[in-house]
Amino acid sequence: MRKLFSLFALGCIFFLSCNSSNKEDDDSVIKLKEKIKERFGGVEGDFAIAFKSLTSDSTSLFLKEKENFHAASTMKTPVMIELYKQVAIGNLSLEDSVEIINEFKSIVDGSPYAMDLNVDSQEGLYHKIGQKTTFRELNYQMITMSSNLATNILIDHLDAKKVTQTMRDMGAADILVLRGVEDLKAYELGMSNTTTAVDLMILMESIATGKAVSEQASDEMFKVLLDQHFNELIPAHLPDDVIVAHKTGSITGVQHDSGIVRLPNGDQYVLVILSKNLSSIDDGVKAIADVSKMIYDFVTKNEKSN
């Protein structure tokens, strides 16, 4: 009888200690969320966050995670995933030869339009119009330098509807890839690519865990994201030994970043921060970088306490 009582008592202590630990974790996430809200509250604009630890504790934090935002260049990650999917099913090869063109069809009426050569964030391809490249190179330029021309050429070959369907198949319920870049007729009718923070989190988690298309494809996509040229948001205040594989996006009043953060010990987390209606881009950029550091400090502090 005494033995049974002792086992029961030990069970109660274990249960209470676990509950206490869970409560402490919940409290710390709540405090972090309040700090983040306070930091964003000092900036004129709207923000959303989806954060998830990919270690055993699966800690997460969400803020307006299902609210729709203009996707800007974050839509290029879905395009990359679709590219690797079509490679996997044998529709094309990453080494296939592709002509670099600058004429595309509006989704409104099929009328032709061309990219503004002075606007694209990566102009290297413009000097090669009429020449040949590969799907691999187009993808690399689209992600690392955010080339709009590369994006439109890829969408021309892949089909935006197939990109969106693949997102649905992956569990991203709201992300919408309707068209390429600079389709002004579509833009004027409100036909724009949109996303939510939670959907981008799902995509990044899938890549981080080797489930986007295949383990090999996920690894290749991770390496491309790792070469991101624009690093003033999520990675800005993180230590040099922290790996960040990510894709940014920006248009007027909008600054986004979505990525996988891998710590020196191999632990990793996914972080997506979206913004819109920013009256000051500089203030928005600083706030996003600060919040990324808050998340990093929270993760590493919890890591040490465990």
Residue 295 scores a pLDDT above 70: yes
* pLDDT at res. 8: 46
Whole-angstrom Cα distance, residue 78 to residue 85?
Answer: 10
What dihedral do alpha carbons 136, 137, 138, 142 form, nearest 10°?
A: 100
Task: Report pLDDT digits (tens) over 103-131.
Answer: 999 999 999 999 887 765 455 788 889 99
> How does residue 5 score in pLDDT terms, banded at 50, 70 and 90?
very low
Whole-angstrom Cα distance, residue 257 to residue 77?
Answer: 11
pTM: 0.90
Segment (H or E) for 250: strand 243-251
Residue 13 scores a pLDDT above 70: no
* pLDDT at res. 22: 53
* pLDDT at res. 119: 62
Structural domains of the chain in order of their starting residue, each with its CATH number: 36-305 (3.40.710.10)
**Mean pLDDT on 256-265:** 97
* pLDDT at res. 58: 82
| Average pLDDT, rounded, for the chain | 91
Task: Report pLDDT digits (tens) over 165-188.
Answer: 999 999 999 999 999 999 999 999
* pLDDT at res. 18: 44
